Amino acid sequence: MFCLAYVLHFQIALDRPPDIVAIQDPPPEFPWIRSSSYRLIYKTDKELTENDHPKRVKEEQLKKDKLKKDDPKRLEMDRKPIPPYRVCFLVSVSLSEETYHVDFYENANKELTATLFLATPEAGILAIHNVYNRNDTINIEQMLNDTTMTGRDLLVGDFNIHHSQWAGEREVKPTRKAEEMHEGLKEAHMKLVTTPGAGTFSRSPTSEPSTIDLTFVSEGILDCVKNWPLVEAPGFESDHRIIKTLLKIRPTRTVRTRIDWKRTRKKYANATKNNLEPLGFPDLNTDDHIDEYIAKINDAVNSATQDWVPVIRYRTFPRARRPDSASVRTLLAQERLALDKLRQADNSKWERYWSKVKAEREWKQRSEGTTRWRQYTAGQEKYNWGTYQMAKLAKALNQPSKPPHLPDLKVGDIVYQTYCVQS
């Protein structure tokens, strides 16, 4: 969960935030992660409710443990959090939902493979395959059938397989699965774009890295691959690194608009006043009279809105993260220097110093974020709408946690949705 939070935090700090993020081995909390910039695409064995939140499950377990302690004869069934499948996606809200869909395979590689099909105006349909070879349980033959079928395939994931083809100068002994995977991808004309020997995984900041997180591309779209660097990010000094693959392909984006009320308050108010004055205050003796009068008011307001309130587009890409303060940038530089020294000379002195600077930098970032939030909330009382927004936010925070990206319930061709009726 720690590293996944860093993914959401760090992705918007890139020069160009990614449109699609392929994630392997997400935590049980994944369905409850809130992101205004990305849609969470995942699957579970059953539909989730607020009672399935890992925190709620843990609270229930603590109560059961207390009951068992008070009465040893009492038997309680343990309930564990329902984890999502081992592969999932984050998709930018700027991409049109009509242009992509995700297939989670229910075959020998259930939970371990998924494909996002993305329709693009220039390159046709791209198939982005996400793979996680958990505990070396993946079926290579089935994986090859699922991930090399279109000729316009991008295959990424944590393969947990060593082979000299991608190990670089490190000596490795390929397993049968490694040879099967290498030969199968070669026959399918899938090209490795990961730099051989690139350290994509290490168990600690000082342990020798290995190359097990890989990217393969079909020959048909190989020319569209611009670069594929490893991204240096705080929080990823060990374990798996972030790999960015940039394609020279333009997706179809959603054109979303909103009314810009701030720019035309006086003109809009005057126009609304002029439209409403002729209506007067007639006697409203029946329900029909009331309905007619309300309809005239709506027409008057809508007419003024269309004439005087401009419509602007939402930003195409997620908003960039606020730049770090000078003190945080200084700590980041010290942290990188300490990490480099630690890797060059593995000793406890540099490890303690690196851990100290890292903890100080993380505390500083949290402290500055808390300060900004407090300043923001304190400033809302100046405006009536600000007070309303804070009250609305407080009510939302007090509600039970539920998946913010819960998919619609579909039965055949019918989609069922729940509407909130306000009295």
Q: Which class is 2-44+83-247 in CATH?
A: alpha beta
Q: With pLDDT > 70 as the criterion, what percentage of the chain qualifies? A: 84
Q: Tens of pLDDT along 25-51? A: 998 888 888 777 888 999 998 888 878
- List all residues 6 or more positions away from 164 whose beta carbon is below 8 Å from its beta carbon: 171, 172, 174
pTM of the full predicted structure? 0.74
Q: Look over the chain and give the mean of its residue pLDDT values, rounded to a whole number.
A: 83
Q: Name the helix (H) or strand (E) containing 115.
A: strand 113-120
**Which pLDDT band holds residue 4 (cuts at 50, 70, 90)?**
low
Cβ proximity of 135 and 102 under 8 Å: no
**Which pLDDT band holds residue 14 (cuts at 50, 70, 90)?**
low
Half-sphere exposure of 248 (CA within 13 A, CB side): 7
C-alpha closest to that of 165 among 128, 202, 203, 191: 191
DSSP string spanning 3-24?
HHHHHHHHHTTSSS--SEEEEE
Dihedral, 140, 143, 144, 150 alpha carbons, nearest 10: 180
Q: Could you tell me the residue ranges of all domains in the chain?
A: 2-44+83-247, 257-313, 326-382
Q: Tens of pLDDT along 283-302? A: 888 999 999 999 999 999 98
CA distances from 174 to 102, 195, 346 (A): 32, 18, 29
How far apart (Å, rounded) are the C-alpha atoms in residues 131 and 157? 5
